[in-house]
Amino acid sequence: MKVTLSVIKADIGSLAGHIRPSRALMEAVQEHIDGEKGKLILDYYISSTGDDVAILLTHQAGTGNPAVHKLAWDAFLSGTKTAKAQGLYGAGQDLLSDAFSGNVKGMGPAVAEMEFEEREAEPFVLFAADKTDPGAYNLPLYLSFADPMHCSGLILSPKMSKGFKFVIMDVEYTEADRVIELNSPEELYDIAALLRDNERFVVAGIYSRETGEQAVAASTTRLHNIAGKYTGKDDPIMLVRVQGVFPATGEILSPYSIGHYVAGFMRGSHTGPLMPVKIGCGTSFFDGPPIVTATGFCVRGGKLTEPVDCFDHPYWDYIREKVARKSTEIREQGFSGAAMLPYSELEYGGIVEKMKYLDRKFSC
Ligand code: F6R
Ligand code: MG
Ligand code: MG
């Protein structure tokens, strides 16, 4: 059966600053979605990562379907109503437009969608990250799909020996989706040359070269580039199909043991290591550190199994300690150099005014 997975996420308000949504907010979103189960949608799962709410929907309406997007948008509006009633911080923060225009892309929420023919067994993982931006997945995806140091299947499985096709988007170009397709392993260095720049080039999708099937769909919106002013970081989501012709779940999770440095953290304007955390985890230290959750499922006939929390395991406690240590170390240098993002990436416009004012005060 052909099924579509759509995950749409937004920050519509949270407790005690930008920490995590309230229970009542989550219930309001869920109530709205639940009304469509068995009608427009086959199944759903709602979770939070930091201050963001992710709505995972299964259906047969294909990607970019206006009715599906409207359902998520209206659920966020309903959650926003509760957020306002509770006096939550940043109520409706990511709903940048007053009127829904057919697709939530560019309106604030992040979207990742994939339509495919279900395999006999269809395992997949939903990733959601907070206090960072879409480039945060560049390195883990490169390592999972193109580097045998993390993906032993590239050496051991004949189903993967042809490699994968990367679709990479230039997110600085805002007129349209400007993408390039590159094949690993032949074009590995070209892929690396682009993916080193997490703020400009972002993996949008990855495909098996054995079967042509899609393995990855990731959100690519950079509202910073669209709106040209601070709108919060674009806390990205991603769907990854695993096993068989794709890397195993553990090969997909392996690069998150690095705790690599990403853009985000406090005021979306710093550098911090990405910490793999449990579903529903909030943020804390310096509005961070940047976090990522991984929720695993199988789907059959569009019906989801119960979720499994991929980072809820003693191994990841050890990694969380390491990442906490890395967070403390980079925070020790405060605003200086690599600890804070370059001028062009600062998410708060106030610095522009400050620099103009200071520029006038210089003399020769
Ligand atoms: C980063 C984030 C927070 C806020 C910070 C200030 O993505 O959400 O770090 O930037 O808490 O929040 P405001 O500007 O809303 O007072
Ligand atoms: Mg927020
Ligand atoms: Mg957020």
| Residue among 308, 166, 289, 318 nearest 249 (CA) | 308
Sign of CA dihedral 98, 40, 310, 241: negative
Q: Which of 20, 89, 284, 287 has the most ligand 1 atoms within 8 A of CB, as the residue to mutate?
A: 287
- Other CB atoms within a 10 A radius of the CB of residue 360 amount to 8
**Residue 89 is a catalytic residue:** no
- Other CB atoms within a 10 A radius of the CB of residue 298 amount to 16
Task: Give residue 186's pLDDT band: very low, low, confident or very high (50, 70, 90).
Answer: very high
**What is the per-residue pLDDT across 333-355, written as a single tens digit (0 to 9) for each?**
999 999 999 988 887 878 888 99
Domain ranges of the chain: 2-346
For residue 75, how far is its CA from the centre of ligand 2 (angstroms)? 17
Q: Which of 89, 170, 190, 230 is the catalytic position?
A: 230
* Residue 229: pLDDT over 60: no
* Residue 227: pLDDT over 80: no
**Residue 230 is a catalytic residue:** yes
**Residue 45 is a catalytic residue:** no
Q: Which of 222, 267, 269 has the most ligand 1 atoms within 8 A of CB, as the residue to mutate?
A: 267
Q: What is the pLDDT, as a whole number, of residue 233? A: 72
**What is the per-residue pLDDT across 24-72, written as a single tens digit (0 to 9) for each?**
999 999 999 999 999 999 999 999 999 999 999 999 999 999 999 999 9
- Other CB atoms within a 10 A radius of the CB of residue 226 amount to 17
Task: Give residue 189's pLDDT band: very low, low, confident or very high (50, 70, 90).
Answer: very high
* Residue 231: pLDDT over 70: no
63-83: average pLDDT: 98
Q: What is the pLDDT, as a whole number, of residue 217? A: 98
124-153: average pLDDT: 98
Q: Say which residues have a Cβ less than 8 Å from residue 258's Cβ, sequence separation at least 6.
A: 139, 140
Task: Give the ranges where the chain is alpha helix by DSSP (H).
Answer: 23-34, 66-86, 138-146, 153-156, 188-195, 223-227, 249-253, 314-331, 350-361
**Bond before 185 cis per omega within 30 degrees:** yes
Task: Give residue 5's pLDDT band: very low, low, confident or very high (50, 70, 90).
Answer: very high
- Other CB atoms within a 10 A radius of the CB of residue 146 amount to 23
Q: Looking at ligand 1, which atom is closest to the CA of residue 269?
A: 1
| Percentage helix, strand, coil for the chain under 3-state DSSP, each rounded to 5 | 30, 30, 40
Q: Which ligand is nearest to the CA of 233?
A: 1
In this structure, are residues 115 and 3 in contact, taking their beta carbons and an 8 Å threshold? yes
**What is the per-residue pLDDT across 84-111, written as a single tens digit (0 to 9) for each?**
999 999 999 999 888 888 999 888 999 9
Q: How many CA atoms lie within 13 A of 237 on its CB side?
A: 26
Task: Give residue 222's pLDDT band: very low, low, confident or very high (50, 70, 90).
Answer: confident
Task: Give the percent of the chain with pLDDT over 90.
Answer: 89
Ligand 1 pocket by C-beta < 6 Å: which residues? 17-18, 90, 131, 232-233, 266-268, 287
Q: Name the DSSP class of 248.
A: P
Token representation of residue 107:
């309106």
Q: Which ligand is nearest to the CA of 17?
A: 1
